[in-house]
Structure 1
Amino acid sequence: MSRSADVLIVGGGGAGASAALHLARRGAKVILLERGLIGSQASGVNHGGVRQQGRHPAELPLAIRCREMWGRMKELVGTDAEFEVTGHLKLARSAAEEAELLRWNEMAAGYGLHPRMIGRNAIRADHPYFADCVVAGSLLEEDGAANPRLLAPAFAHAAREAGATVLERHPVTAMARQGDGFVLEAAGETFTAPILLNTAGFWGGQVAAAFGEPVPIAPLSPNMMVTEPLPYFCPHSLGVVGGNVYLRQIRRGNVIFGGGRGESDAAVPVSRPLPAPTFNAMQRAIEILPQLAGAMIIRTWSGIDGETPDDLPVLCRSRTTPGLIHGFGFSGHGFMLGPVVGAVLSELVLDGGTETPLEGFDIGRFARQDAPEDVWKTPPE
C-alpha cells in the first residue's frame, strides 16, 4: 500500500504534532508517522515548565513567541493543557549563582524580558519555606507550567480534525530521497512526499545521518518523581542556577520534581529512572524546601530525549538534501517550545522562511572545529 502527501513528518512529539496542525490548517496534505504513541517520549515525560527564564539567548525569540501561543492554547487546540501562570522563580544558593542570575537578567532585558530580582531579605520574607541555602532569586512572573501528558495529543487531535493523517505505531524502517521527493517505509506501507520534516527527537540524529549530515546527539533520560499530595504552599515553578533540581507544586498538592539522569535503551525503546540520581534529587529538593523531608514519593518515571553538545536544537533546512527540514535535539528543554517549533516548520515549508531567528540552530555548526564553547546553558524543564 502506498500513500502520498505534500509533507511527511517523522516524530509525533509536540513539535511534530504542532507542525501537522499548522500545515493542515493552511491546506497542506500531511502524514505524520510516530513510532510509538503521540507524546510518549520527551514531550510527555518532562517537568512541564513553560518558561522563558534561564534560556540560552538563541532560544529566547522562540520562547517569547511561544509564550504568546501558550496564552491562547485553548483557542488553538481546544485545551489549555492545564497551563497556569505561576511565575518561574530561579534560585541562587551562593553569591556566584546570584551573580549568574544578574548576568542573565541583564542579557534578557535586551529581548524585552524583565525578571524581578529578589534579594536575601526579601526572598526570606516572601518565601519563608525556603532553607537558608537560598540567598536570592529571579522571578519571571509571566512564565508558568502545564501538563506535558496533554499537549502533544491535543495538537495531534486538532491536526486530525484539520485533515492531517496521524499514524501511531508506525516506526520508519527505511527512508530515501528519490527523484523530487522522499520515500519512507513504515508498518508495511510506503509513504511519499516532496517535503520531509524530521521531528524525531533523539532518533532525529538517525534521520539526519541517513541523509549525510550526522549530528553528535546522545539520549537524555530525565529522572522524574512526584510526591503524595501535601498542603499547598509553593505557588511558583522553581529552578536553580546549574539546573541540578527543578520542582513545582500543583494545585492538588503533589510536588513534581526532577534531577539527574535515568537510563535508556533507544533501540527498544525503553527508559527508567535510577535509584542514585533519584535519591540525590530528593536530597537537593529537601535542601531547598525542608518540609519535603517526610514526603512520600508515589511515582518515578523517565523517557528519551536527544541531547546535543551545546544543548541547542537542530532547527533548520538540511544542508545536504533539498526538501528535508530538521527540528530535533531539544536537550531536555523543548516542551514549552513544541507549539512554536511546529509553527516555524510550517512557515519554512509554505512560506520559504520565517521571521523567527534560527541562526543558532543550524546543523552546520557541528562541523566547525573552531566553534567557541558557549557559556550559556539552558536547564531542563
Structure 2
Amino acid sequence: MFGQEIPYSMSDFYLNGSATFRDDTTIMITDNLLEQTGSMWYKDDIDLNEPFHIELEIFFGCSDGGADGITFILHPEWSTGSTGEGMGVGGLNPSFGVEMDTYQNFHLADAHFDHVALMANGASHHKLGLTEPIPLHPNKGNVENCTFYNVKFDWNPASQIFTFEFNGVVRIRREIDLVNLIFDGNSNVFWGFGSATGLRRNKHLVKIKKLEFTPNETLTDEDREALAAGEVYTLPELEFEAGSADLPYSARPTLDKLMRFHQDFPDHTIILNSFTDSSGEESSNLRISTQRAEAIANYMISKGFAKEKLIYYGNGEVNPIDDNETEQGRKNNRRVEVIMKVIKV
C-alpha cells in the first residue's frame, strides 16, 4: 500500500547549484557542461514509517563517454554533495542514495557498465555500498543515448523492502532498516535527486510522472503546541553562511510550514528575533542579524504572508543561550527565534 497520490507543480521543488526548471514537469540538474553540481528537493519532508512510490523519467545524456550520473537521495536536510564522481550526494551524512552511475571510476570499484547501487552516507566507493553495482540495463547496455528511461522507487516500511525499477524491470529489491541503520532512528527525511559532471559531462534531466507518499506538511505536534502557547520556537536548519544574509534553501520548508500553521491563527502576529554569536564587532553583529531577519521576512512576504502580521528584529550578540567560547556554543547562539502572539493596538 502507498500513501496518497500527490498533485504537484514545479513550485513544489527547490533547486540548488546548477539545477534549473525546463518546463512544467522537467528539471535539468546539470547541463552538458563541465564541473556542474546540482540537486532538486521536494518541499516537505516525509516519514519513513509511511510508504512511498516515486515514478519519473530520467535522461542521462547523449554521450557514452560522458559523466557522471544521477542519484536518488534521502537526507534530513536540503543539501548538495560533491561534484564529479560524488554525483551530488558525495559526503552527505547521514544519507541513503540510489546511485545511477554512467561513468566508470575504477578507483571506486565501479562496474565496467552503466550501473545502479544502493549507497549510504555519501560514500562513493562500492566497498562501502549497501549493494554491489548491477547493470541498469539487464543486458549491460548504454543508457547515455538521448533517451528518457522510466524509473520507480518504492518503499514498504512494513516489510522494510526498498525496490528500484528501471524501464519496467526490477533491478534492486532489498530489505533494509532505513530509519535505524541509516538515520539513527530519525524517520523524517527529505527526498530529492543530485547529479554532477566533472572533467566529463552530460545533460541530466528528471521528469516527474507520479508521486505517492504522505508529506509532513505541518510542524511537529511539539512545535505547534509551543507556538500556540506563545512560547519561543527556534527555527531549525537555519545555517547562514558566515557574514551572509542570503536565506539558506534548507530553511524554506520550515518557513513554509510555519506560514501554513499561522493560517489557523489569523489574529496572531509572528515576531522574528535574530541573534549572532560574539565573534566580530558588536555593530557588525547587530547589522547582520537585522539583515538575516529581514531576509526571512522578505521570503515569507514573497510567498503571500501578510506584511502587517510580521515583525522582525536584529539583536546581534545579546542574550546568548550557550558559551561563546566553544564552536558548538557559538553555533547555538546563532539562531532565529519565533514567537506568535496577539498584538492589540
TM range (shorter): under 0.3
| Higher strand content, 1 or 2 | 2
Q: Which has the higher contact order (CA 8 A, sep 6+)?
A: 1
| Higher helix content, 1 or 2 | 1
Greater Rg, structure 1 or structure 2? Answer: 2
- TM-score normalised by the chain length of structure 2: 0.26
